[in-house]
Amino acid sequence: MSFAVSNPWRDRILRGEVCSVMSVKYAIGNEIAMMTKMAGMDGMFIDMEHSVLTIREVSQLVTACNYVGVSPIVRVPSKAHWHLSRILDAGAAAVVIPHCETVEQVQEIVKDAKYPPLGRRGCAGNQPILNFQAVPTLVQNDLLNRETMVIPMIETPGAVELANEFLAIPGVDGILVGSNDLCTDLEIPGQYDNALYLDSVTKVIKAGVRAKKPIGIGGIGGRLDLLEKFFELGATWSLSGADGAMLQAGMKALGKTYGEINNRVQQQRAAVVESATSGRDTKMPQATASEIVATSIAA
């Protein structure tokens, strides 16, 4: 009997295709997984580093993603082995680990996230990512070592210089560049057009191309012009937008539209009142603006 893991995001980036990933920090309802799927996105980046999402809430989001066919990618809050093992046991298709600074740190991460012989992850049966099927242990371990991804983050100039070494570690499946922290550490916060930032990201992408491992770009979802250039260089995925930011942008746009409508309506009403009252004897009783507008509409 054959067993398989559904990981459409992984399949696409390994083919070199450009993928979009929705970032979630606030939404906890399973419906967000369905919305992500219907929007045509390939994965959901569930952020435990910069949110107050609980392990239970994350596990529910992961299950929902796997059910609808969206790859659940979880950024854990730290390098601690219990964060990695619990998220992977919950069914994550990939774990993203922040603040990776040394080769030794990344080697330890791989050991905690991969089963033997690549690592020392504790074996647990009845895995959600395998639809709770009873899979022989050796088959399960080999399958999940191949199909679930371990992705260190590069967020400092020092880590940029170690990109080739990180990617050479067996069990490292790619890298995510953290643009905000990288720019801050370069002392150019928010300056994404600065040559220091552009050169750093280019170095990481070239390292990924050489290693034939996918590179993702985080933190610049609003700079599609830069992302396209990075994709042309060989990057394959990015964090395309966060739930809170998308909701806020939508509400702002709607609020602006309603404000513009209100201005036009008020101007039209003022014009109706002015037209109705022009030339009228000021000694005669005056109708209110509302009465004049109502009469105009009725006519």
| Residue 282: inside a domain | no
Percent of the chain with pLDDT over 70: 92
- Of residues 234 and 131, more confidently modeled: 234
Dihedral angle over CA of 99, 149, 73, 211, nearest 10: 70
CATH of the domain at 52: 3.20.20.60
Classify residue 233: in a domain, yes or no: yes
Inside any domain, residue 290: no
pLDDT at 233: 98
| pLDDT score recorded for residue 240 | 86
Does any domain span residue 100?
yes
**Does 257 reside within a domain?**
no
What are the tens digits of pLDDT across the range 10-57? Answer: 999 999 999 989 999 999 999 999 999 999 999 999 999 999 999 999
Tell me how many domains the chain contains: 1
Would you tell me the crossing angle of helices 55-68 and 81-89 to the nearest 10 degrees?
40
- Phi/psi for 5 (5° steps) reads -115, 130
The pLDDT value given to residue 201? 99
Confidence of residue 158 (pLDDT cuts 50, 70, 90): very high
Domain carrying residue 184: 8-249
Domain membership flag for residue 58: yes
CB neighbour burial string for 6-39, b if at least 16 within 10 angstroms, e if fewer: bbebbebbbeeebbbbbbbbebbeeebbebbbee
Asked whether residue 274 is assigned to any structural domain, the reply reads no
State whether residue 288 is helix, strand or coil.
coil
For residues 294 and 9, give the distance between their C-alpha atoms in angstroms, rounded to a whole number: 57
* 17: nearest Cα among 25, 26, 8: 8
Question: Distance between CA atoms of 272 and 274, rounded to whole angstroms?
Answer: 5
Residue 65 located in a structural domain: yes
